[in-house]
Amino acid sequence: MLTALAAITLACLVHPGLGLLVLLLSHALCCHTALCRIMEREKQLSILYQKQGRATQFPSPSINLLF
């Protein structure tokens, strides 16, 4: 919400490119956070599986998006 408000303010009062830059950077940060969260979860599951003696093989990094 705050990002959208900042983007609208910059786009209307200063320059449209600045508003777009704010939205782009915000989106990149959100994507980076989501990918890091997925990788951390897979790392934790891998450690847990190793402790339990199970094989760890994740077919793709995007299989656990809803967890």
Please write the tens of the pLDDT for every residue from 4-61.
888 888 888 888 888 888 889 999 999 999 999 999 999 998 888 888 877 655 555 5
What contacts 66, CB < 8 A, 6 or more positions away? none
What contacts 46, CB < 8 A, 6 or more positions away? 56, 58
Domain boundaries, the chain: 2-52
Q: What is the mean pLDDT of residues 1-5?
A: 78
Q: Which residue has the higher pLDDT, 32 or 67?
A: 32
Contact 3, 23 (CB under 8 A): yes
C-alpha distances in angstroms, 63 versus 25, 38, 44? Answer: 26, 9, 15
What pLDDT is stored for residue 11 in this prediction? 82
Q: What is the pTM of this model?
A: 0.61
